[in-house]
Amino acid sequence: MARMKARGAKASRSTRRAATDGAISHALAAGSIAAHATGQDAAEERVPASWAAFVNSFASQDWLLIGYLSAILAALVFGKGSNRGVCIVHVAGDLGAFMFVLALVRLQLLRWGGAASSLLYRTAIMATLLGTFFQLREILPAVSPWAMDARIYAFDLHVFGFEPSVWLDRFVNESTTEWFAFFYFLYFLILTVHVLPMLYWLRDERVLARFGVGFLLIFLTAHLLYMVVPGWGPYWYLRDSFQHELHGATFWPLVREAVDAGGAQKDIFPSLHTAVPTFIAIFSFRNRRLVPFKYTWWVMAFVATQIIIATLFLRWHYLVDVVAGLTLATTAAFLGPYLADWEAIRRDRMGIQPAWMPLAFPWTKPTND
């Protein structure tokens, strides 16, 4: 009897899971069929007919970026630093440009399902994120002209009992520095080889939605927290505590140049070099039935561990920054897919255009005989 109950419970869970997956697949399939329908009749029926309908057509990633840019504007208005006026103009321009793209795409002023609208929308999301990241160098001091290194360091000592960057100083030499600098620099390549194919090559809208929402949750949350907990990191604040100088011939200079040229300077809490590789590793493992993740998930898991250690070894982050990055990655890895799936079902139920329009180039579209 107990075995029969266990089997029945297992079958019930499997049935519910299959029903959920079926609903999500139906939602995505319906959106795809509508977008590719001959003569675009189905797509035209989903064009927002009013301002309220236009706003309701915004997807999760749209609201995340709008809320993110609005939060930065509010922080600048109430900030304590200098140069806030210039930063407000720049961020307002970012918000205006993104809203303009949303109008073109969601109102279908550009043909829905066409390569132009799909490419413009996806590029706008990436450009908005990258643009504000490079603006953080001016935004952070305008919002929070102070640094909280003393409090962060004290927190680490009180909670964890030590600071890893100081403890790892005994292992610093040219070989170890180059090893970890290589993995730290590899972070940028990992971003490129995962984000660009997702945006411009992947045809599975469900996987794209799950990755995209989780990815944005990480970056947007981190950028906002930089304004709340600004700091320079152990490399600067604890510079008198280290006995060995970091030095290397190839990768360490590259890391220094990248940080000096493009870094936001006081962007330590949480550690994105921890959060992003961890998120990609979890995402790869959870999707290991798919190519290329079935071949790369274990590589990504190893690389993620090395990058995390590198953030501490190279003295960029405190331990609490890494813990916060791990927490953020884990949260986004599970919340992102949940939000994406909920969004697909909601939009299908309400007859709204798909969250991510299909990307179809003229040479990839099937021809009708």
Tokens standing for 137?
Answer: 């160098």
Mean pLDDT of 124-143: 94
Name the nearest CA neighbour of 353 among 114, 106, 99, 182: 106
Kindly tell me if the per-residue pLDDT of 2 is higher than 70.
no
Tokens standing for 197?
Answer: 């194919």
Select the more confidently predicted residue: 357 or 326.
326
pLDDT digits (tens, 9 = 90+) for 164-178: 999 999 999 999 999
Task: Return d(Cα 298, Cα 302) in angstroms, integer.
Answer: 6
Do the Cβ atoms of 180 and 165 come closer than 8 Å? no
Task: Return d(Cα 24, Cα 18) in angstroms, integer.
Answer: 10
* Whole-number Cα distances in Å, 228 to 25, 70, 79, 118, 275: 40, 16, 11, 35, 18
Indicate the helix (H) or strand (E) that contains 117: helix 115-143
Task: Return d(Cα 170, Cα 33) in angstroms, integer.
Answer: 61
Q: Which residue has the tokens 């190893």?
A: 302
In the chain, the amino acid numbered 31 is: G
Do the Cβ atoms of 42 and 34 come closer than 8 Å? yes
Kindly tell me if the per-residue pLDDT of 357 is higher than 90.
no
HSE at residue 235, side-chain half, CA atoms within 13 A, is 19
Mean pLDDT of 356-362: 74
Task: Return d(Cα 76, Cα 228) in angstroms, integer.
Answer: 12
Kindly tell me if the per-residue pLDDT of 56 is higher than 90.
no
What is the DSSP annotation of 140-209?
HHHH--S--HHHHHHHHHHHTSS-HHHHGGGG-SHHHHHHHHHHHHHHHHHHHHHHHHHHHT---HHHHH
Tokens standing for 139?
Answer: 């935004």
The model's pTM is 0.85
Indicate the helix (H) or strand (E) that contains 260: helix 251-262
* Whole-number Cα distances in Å, 322 to 82, 167, 305, 327: 30, 16, 11, 9
* 3-state DSSP assignment of residue 229: coil
pLDDT of residue 369: 42
In the chain, the amino acid numbered 214 is: G
pLDDT of residue 358: 76
277: cis peptide before it, omega within 30°? no
pLDDT of residue 362: 61
What is the DSSP annotation of 25-59?
HHHHHHHHHHHH-GGGHHHHHTS--SHHHHHHT--
Select the more confidently predicted residue: 263 or 23.
263
Select the more confidently predicted residue: 61 or 25.
61
Do the Cβ atoms of 85 and 325 come closer than 8 Å? no
Do the Cβ atoms of 227 and 140 come closer than 8 Å? yes
Tokens standing for 25?
Answer: 């697949």
pLDDT digits (tens, 9 = 90+) for 237-255: 999 999 999 999 999 999 9
pLDDT of residue 21: 53
pLDDT digits (tens, 9 = 90+) for 183-232: 999 999 999 999 999 999 888 889 999 999 999 999 999 999 999 999 99
pLDDT digits (tens, 9 = 90+) for 84-105: 999 999 999 999 999 999 999 9
Tokens standing for 149?
Answer: 């290194």
Please enumerate in sequence order all residues whose Cβ is within 8 A of that of 183, keeping only pairs 6 or more positions apart, or say none.
303, 306, 307, 309, 310
- Report the alpha-carbon angle 70-73-74, nearest 5: 90
Backbone angles phi, psi at 270, to 5 degrees: -85, 170
pLDDT of residue 47: 61
Tokens standing for 343?
Answer: 């969004």
